[in-house]
Structure 1
Amino acid sequence: MTKPETIDWWVDGERLFGTALGRLTDEEFDAPSLLPGWSRQYLLAHVARNADALVNLLNWARTGVETPMYASPEAREKGIAEAATLSAPALRAEVMAATGRLADAVQGLPDEAWSATVRTAQGREVPASEVPWMRCREVYVHAVDLDAGVGFADVADEVQAAMIDDVFRMWDRRDQVPDVVVFAGDREWGTGKVAVSGPLPAVTGWLTGRTRGEGLEADDGIPEVPAWL
C-alpha cells in the first residue's frame, strides 16, 4: 500500500494550525479558547500530546509491537496537564517538536505498514492509513478553536466535506444520526425530514459542534445535533 492520499491534507492542516499558533502572543496563551473550559494553553498541550499518541500508532504499524496511543486515560490526562504548565515559549516549542516527531514517523513508515491494523483510543481497530486523517481532524478543528483568526472558510472544501462525512459516520456507528438532511451548495448529507442549508463553512462549524448554526437556514429553526467525537 502506498502512502495515504490524506497526507497532503494533513500537511496543509499542520500549516494552518501553525498559522493560528503564530498569530498568538505569549501573553494570549492563557486566554480561553473557543472550547468551553479549555484555555489556549490546554488546547495546545492537547494537540502536542495527540501528535505523540499518533506516533505511537505508527510505531505499532512499523514494528508490529502493540503500542497504544496512551498507556491509560489517566496517563493521557496527566501528559496534557503537564504540558499545559509549560511557559508559553516552551509550549510553543513543544507543539512544533511534537509535530516534527509525527512528521518523521509518517515519512519513515514503509509503504506496506500503512495497511497494518492499529487501535484508536476509543478501541476502534483501523488501518494505519487512517492516522493522517485522525490528525487532520485535530489540527483543522483546533486551529479554529484557538480563536486566532482562522475559520472553517480557511479550510479546503474537500477537507470540510470529508469532516462532515466523518461526522455522519460517527453518528451512524453510535446509532445517533439525527433526522436532518443538510445542503451546502451541491453537496448533501443525511436523509432526514428536517432540511438545513447554508454555506459549507457554516455547515462544518455546526456539525462539528463549533457553532449553534449561525448562517444556516431551516424552516423551524436549527435543530440540535449529537456530539461528533
Structure 2
Amino acid sequence: MSDYINELVLWKPLKITTIVMLVFVVILLPFSGFWAVMMLFAIICLWSRVPCLLSMFTKDLDVVDFFVVMLAINVGGVCGGVFGIFIMLFSRIFGPNEWYLYTIKDGISIMICGFLTPWFYAMTGSVLYTFYIFTMLRWILFLLLTIVLEPEAMGLELSLCSIGILKSYVYNTFIAKTFEVPLAKVFEGGVHFSFGLFAVTLVIIAVCLSIGKFGKWLEKYTKSDSVSDKCIQEELSWGVNL
C-alpha cells in the first residue's frame, strides 16, 4: 500500500481491533448468540467502510445501510438506528482524514432512517423497496443537515448525490437481491449465531488483508523498477558522455 493510502486508513489499529472483536465473538457465543452476531455484523460493516474512507466517490460502497435495514426489520428500528450511527462514528477512528461533519451528518441520517425502517417495511412488504426508501430519505436528511451545519458545502454535496444516484441504485439492488435471503436465515426464530456468517466474516477479512499485502508487494516492485530504470539511464548517460 502506498504511503498515501496508509495516511487515509490506520491499518494496524484496524487489524488489532478486528482481532479483539473476533475474540469477543468467541467469548460471547456461549452466553449470547445475539451479541455474538451483532459483533460479526459490526466487523463486516467496519471493513466495508474501508473503501469509503479512501475517496469521496466511494462513499456509498459499504453494507452499513443494508445491515441497518435488516436489523430494523427483524429486531427493531431502535436497534438498527443505533447500530448504524455507532458503525459510522466508530469506523471514523480508523479513517482520520474523513471530513468529520460528513461522518456526523451521515451517521445521524442513517440513525433516523433506521428508526423509521419498520414503518417503511410495513408499507411496502419488500426489503428491496424498503432499502430504496431508506436510501432516498437518507440523502434528503443528509442534505438538510448540510444546510444546517455547513451550507457552504451544499453545491458539492448536491453534485456528489446526483453522481451517486445510479451507482447507489445498482449497488443497493445487487446487495439486497444477493444477501437478503442468506442474511434472513440468521433472523429466523430470533437472532441466532451462524457459522456460515462467521466463515464469511473471516473470508472478508482475509481478502482485505490479502489486498493489503498485494499493495505492499506492488509498491516494492514499483520502487525496484524505478531504481533499475534510474541505473540504466545513468549508464546510458555515462556511455553517451564517453
TM-score (norm: length of structure 2)? 0.30
TM-score by length of 1: 0.32
The structure whose residues are more often helix, as a share, is 2
Radius of gyration: which is bigger?
2
Per residue, is there more strand in 1 or in 2?
Answer: 1
